[in-house]
Amino acid sequence: MNHRIHKLQGLLQKNDVDGVLYATSGNLQYFLNDASFWWQRTPETGGPSIDIDELDSGGDAGHFLNRPDCILYVPASDEPVLIMTYQRAKDMQHIPIQQETCFYDRIPDVLGGYVRGKRIACGESCNSYLKQVVARVCPDAEILDGEHYGEQLRKIKDEDEIATLRKAAAFTDEAMAAIVPAIRPGATPRDIENLLVQYALDRGLSDLAFSPACICVRSGAPGSEEIFGHPHDQPIVEGTAVTFDFGYVVDGYCSDFGRAFYCGRPEPVIADAYKALQEAHCHLLETVKPGMKMDLAFRILTASLEKHNFGKYLRDYWDTGIMGHQIGIDVHERPWLHNRAEEVFEAGMVMCIEPKIWYPGKAYLRVEDMVLLTGNGCESLTKFDRELFELPV
C-alpha cells in the first residue's frame, strides 16, 4: 500500500468514516501515485466553483464526468481496490493495487462486494453517480463529502511533486520565449493561441491545463473599454497591449502563467503601469512567508501600487481581492487567494499569484507566476524575463 493511501486511511479513522470512493479525478491520480494514465481534466475539475458564495466550498464543478470507467475504493482499515472497465485496465493494470475489471454496467455490482459500513464518503467528480452506487449497495449508510480529504493531503507538495512542477514551469517559460517573436502586427490572437497549442503538440504533451488566452487591448480603439473587446480574429496592430494566460499538463501536473507585452512603444503611463505591477508583484513575493495570512496579499499589492498611483486600477473580482490559487494535479486547487481567505501560507505549497491591472481604454496587464513556499519565504518557479514588455514592430 502506498504512503498516500496510508495517510488517507488515517484521516478516515480519525473522522470515523468507513470508506471513501474516488472516480476519475485529481484525487484518483494522487492516491494511486501514478500519472501515466490519461484522464480529461478541465479548469474546474477538482477546483471550486467560481461562484463567489462558494469560493472555498466546492459546488457542482466536479460533475463534468457523469459516469466513471474506474473507481478507487479505500476502506478505513483494509486493502483498497481499483474497479475499472476492461478498456481502462489497458493503461492502469500496471498500478500496484488490488484490481477488479468488469464491463461498464457491472461496476456497481462489483463495488457492492467491497463497500461496507455506516459512513461512506464520496469524491466530487461523478459525485451524483457515486452517491447512487453507495445508496444502492449500502442503503442505510450516511453519505459524506470525501473531496476535502484529498485536498488536505494534496495541499503540501512532496519533493517529487515539486520537481514535476518545476519541470512544468520551465516548459511554460520556454513556450513563452518561443512565442514572443510571433507577437507582431498582422497576427491575430487566435493565431498566437494556436501557436501555444502547437508548441505542446510538437513536444508530445497530452493535454493543456486550460485553453490558452491571448487578450488584446489597443489603446483608444473601439472595444478598448472592455477587456475582451478586441475580436479574436482581428489582427494585432502597433499600439496594442497583448496579455497572456496559459498552462500545460506535464507529467500529470499543471502549469499556469501570465505576462503582458506591448507592440511598439507604449505611452509612458502604460509602460509605468506594467513596471509598477511587476514591482508590486516582486515585493509581494519578497514578503510572503509561511505563517502569513493569505488575506493580506491583496492589501500588500494594493499598497505597493498606490505608491505609483495605480492602486485604483488593480483588478478586483467581485470586490473579493481574488488574485491566485494553489496548483498541482489540477490547475485550480484550494486554497484560493482572496481577501476573505482564512488560511495561512505553508511551506510546500505551490501557489499561482496573478495580479492584474485594468486601465480601460488603454491596456489590460497581468503577471502570473507559479510560486513555491519555502521554509522562510518563497521562490518563483516561473522565471520568464520580467523586463521584457516593449516589442518591435
Instruction: Give the CATH number for residue 107.
Output: 3.40.350.10
Q: Is the pLDDT of residue 205 over 80?
A: yes
The pLDDT value given to residue 48 = 44
Among 154, 183, 201, where does a domain finish? 154
**How confident is residue 65, by pLDDT bands cut at 50, 70 and 90?**
low
Residues 21 and 101 occupy one common structural domain: yes
Which whole number is the average pLDDT over 34-42? 86
Residues 143 and 193 in one domain: no
How far lies 93's CA from each of 37, 68, 108, in Å?
Answer: 10, 17, 20
Grid cell of 123 as nine digits: 469524491
Whether residue 58 has pLDDT greater than 90 = no
Checking if the pLDDT of 342 tops 60, the result is yes
Do 189 and 249 lie in a common domain?
yes
User: Same domain for 106 and 226?
Assistant: no
Estimate to the nearest angstrom the gap between the alpha carbon of 89 and the chain centroid. Answer: 27
> 238 pLDDT exceeds 50?
yes
Identify the pLDDT of residue 175. Answer: 98
Answer whether residue 340 shows pLDDT above 90.
no
304-319 pLDDT, tens per residue?
A: 999 999 999 999 876 7
The predicted pLDDT at position 320 comes to: 82
pLDDT of 321 higher than 90: no
Give the pLDDT confidence of 347-372 residue by residue, as tens digits: 999 999 999 999 999 999 999 999 99
Q: Minimal CA–CA distance to 241: which of 356, 370, 369?
A: 356
User: Is the predicted pLDDT of residue 333 greater than 80, yes or no?
Assistant: yes
Q: Is the domain of 134 the same as that of 212?
A: no
Are 146 and 216 members of one domain? no
Q: What is the DSSP letter of 236?
A: P
Same structural domain for residues 238 and 136? no
CA–CA distance, 216 with 229 (Å, rounded to integer): 8
Average pLDDT, the chain: 92
Whether residues 325 and 303 fall in one domain: yes
Mean pLDDT of 245-251: 98
Between the alpha carbon of residue 218 and those of residues 102, 172, 185, 234, 260, the distances in Å are 57, 26, 12, 11, 13
pLDDT score of 44: 61
- Select from 290, 297, 292 the least CA-distant residue to 374: 290
Closest alpha carbon to 80 in 34, 111, 124: 111
Predicted confidence band of residue 66 (pLDDT cuts 50, 70, 90): confident
**What pLDDT was estimated at residue 318?**
65
> In terms of Cα–Cα distance, which of 304, 280, 263 is closest to 354?
280
How many structural domains is the chain composed of? 2
Tell me the CATH number at 286. Answer: 3.90.230.10
Q: Where is pLDDT greater, at 321 or 278?
A: 278
**pTM of the full structure:** 0.93
Confidence grade of residue 202 (pLDDT, cut at 50, 70, 90): very high
pLDDT of residue 39: 87
Do 260 and 145 have their domain in common? no
Please tell me the predicted confidence (pLDDT) of residue 271.
98
Q: Where a domain ends, among 130, 154, 178?
A: 154
What pLDDT shows up at residue 49? Answer: 40
The CA distance from 363 to 242, in Å, is 8
Q: Average of pLDDT values for 159-179?
A: 98
Number of helices (H), then strands (E), in the chain: 10, 18
- Does 141 share its domain with 168? no
Last residue of a domain, one of 94, 122, 154: 154
What is the domain extent for residue 103?
A: 3-154
Kindly state whether residues 166 and 131 are assigned to the same domain.
Answer: no
Contact 106, 43 (CB under 8 A): no
Give the model's pLDDT for residue 67: 84
Same domain as 233, residue 110? no
User: What amino acid occupies position 76?
Assistant: A
